[in-house]
Amino acid sequence: MSSTPLLLPTSLKPAASLPEQGAYRVYMETFGCQMNEYDTELVRSIMKARGFHFTPIDEEADVILFNTCAIRENAHNRLYGHLAKYKARKKERGLVIGVLGCMAQNLKQELLDSRSWIDVLAGPDAYRKLPDLLTDALEHQHRGLAVDLSEYETYAQIVPDRAGGINGWIAVMRGCDNFCSFCVVPYTRGRERSRDPEGILEEAKRLVSQGVRQITLLGQNVNSYRSGSCDFAQLLVAVADVPGLQRVRFTSPHPKDFPPSLLEAVAQHPIICNQIHLPLQSANDRMLERMGRGYTRREYLKLVDAIQEKGPIVLTTDLICGFCGETDEEFQETYDLVKEMKYQAAFTFKYSERKHTIAARKYADDIPEEVKGFRTNEIIELQKEISLQKNQDLIGSQVEVMIEGNAKKSDQQWMGHTEHNVTVVWSKNDHPGLPGDLVSISIQDATPSTLYGTADS
């Protein structure tokens, strides 16, 4: 444990304090969403520019970093488990341990008080300070804290350090102003800020030159993107027009302000995938009102009708079970609507209260854990049946799939996704192909999550 005082804020020091040779080695793990994966690429870039090296082997690292997620309880528990593991190792050989991201931002005091072996905490807007914070911790045993939220930071000039592959993602904006009552993101990532379209297009072109064939544009609510006169639909089309790209996706649009122009872009542009993630959260109006979602069940369904009128656009969603005060009947409304909607996938979570949110201040978290668990499982099981049925309906048909890489279970098989984002696995013997190629696959078998087939020659 360091007995030196907390640095608030961190003083900036010259990079020259790092050793010329044998620079510090960093092992980094990422929890949570694609935005966090993207932030990890930014952190790698910022740190490599200051002479740090990254290693995939934690035993040989001088620095252990966790880029964390604060959205759900299980993400917290996973981090605490990992921290306990490295506490012992730190005692043996003086590791520096840093916690980054949303948990660092939201639970700074709790983490500092309860886990004295954490050396550095840095929130999502403070990554430029990391090299200095870590150098101070490594060389002077200073504990460092940088959790100021910024109104301007978009890391626009930082070129993310990617691991490679044909999939790339670009954060087009940061933060969120929506303040859904259950959500901690506005407190951990701050106010909405959009990047300028020129920088985003430059990044898209650079990704293509690195071999990327599919780009996903990221934002907490992409509908809020605005830079000058450019809105998200215009940006999406401009990215999709970048030569060399095969597919463009985006996540997430908010149902409360989904613009017709965005729907038009999805329906019209040949490489914007016909799949929209449209988080419902609950189908009951009282719950939606308590959640502060800004739409009613009727308005959501009206939007769904408008989407379906445009053609075969597949929908996926997010759901919360057991939100404050949710009755059996209110839950049943959600269950029944999921049955009716037949989403391709529904990411279903048990409500867990997050510190500092509106719901934590305003409503009692009064649904017993076993009831929350029961409701969550009910929907998960229902959705499994729906996904299985939808996938089985594809048996005997041909789907276009982009080769993304080796299948998880065998390097003799390829894995890719359909335009609707369903995973497909097939034997490499069927067709030579290369990652990034679009191939036609005849579907022969299906599970709720995966299609299996053979490549048509």
Binding site residues, ligand SF4, CB under 6 A: 176, 178-180, 183, 185-186, 220-221, 254
Distance CA 416, CA 404 (A): 5
Residue 162 phi/psi, 5-degree rounding, is -90, 155
Distance of CA 262 to the CA centre of its chain: 21
Q: Considering the complex, what minimum distance in angstroms separates the CB of residue 186 from ligand SF4?
A: 5
- Residue 220 vs 418, nearer CB to ligand SF4: 220
Residue 168's alpha-carbon distances to 54, 91, 218, 345, 432, in angstroms, are 20, 38, 11, 22, 23
Please name which of 49, 114, 44 lies closest in space to residue 76, comparing C-alpha atoms.
114
Indicate the residue among 60 and 177 with the shorter CB distance to ligand SF4.
Answer: 177
Query: How far apart are the C-alpha atoms of 269 and 37, rounded to whole Å?
Result: 27
In DSSP terms, 442 is beta-bridged to 398, 454
Q: Which is nearer to ligand SF4, 221 or 275 (CB)?
A: 221
Nearer to ligand SF4, 202 or 318 (CB): 318
Provide, rounded to whole angstroms, the least separation between the CB of residue 191 and ligand SF4: 11
Consecutive H or E run containing 217? strand 214-218
- Least Cβ distance, residue 148 to ligand SF4 (angstroms): 20
User: 412: which 2 tokens?
Assistant: 């003799």
Give least dist CB 103 to ligand SF4, A: 16
Nearer to ligand SF4, 46 or 69 (CB): 69
CB of 156 to ligand SF4, least distance (A): 21
User: Helix (H, G, I), strand (E, B), or coil: what is residue 169?
Assistant: strand
- Minimum Å distance from CB 178 to ligand SF4? 4
Is the Cβ of residue 142 or residue 254 nearer to ligand SF4 in the bound state?
Answer: 254
List of long-range contacts for 366-370, beta carbons under 8 Å, 24+ apart:
366/324, 366/325, 367/322, 367/323, 367/324, 367/325, 367/326
CB nearer to ligand SF4: pick between 178 and 317: 178
Distance CA 230, CA 222 (A): 12
Q: How far is CA 93 from CA 39, 88, 118, 333, in A?
A: 28, 9, 14, 55
Under 8 Å between Cβ of 149 and 122: no
Residue among 80 and 179 whose Cβ is closer to ligand SF4: 179
Backbone angles phi, psi at 234, to 5 degrees: -65, -40
Nearer to ligand SF4, 254 or 420 (CB): 254
Q: Which helix (H) or strand (E) holds 99?
A: strand 96-101
Distance of alpha carbon 312 from alpha carbon 5, whole angstroms = 59
CB of 69 to ligand SF4, least distance (A): 12
Nearer to ligand SF4, 105 or 220 (CB): 220
The letter for the amino acid at 397 is S
3-state secondary structure of 26: strand
Shortest Å, Cβ 318 to ligand SF4: 8
| Distance in Å, CB of 356 to ligand SF4, minimum | 12
Q: Please, what is the minimum distance in Å from the beta carbon of residue 353 to ligand SF4?
A: 14
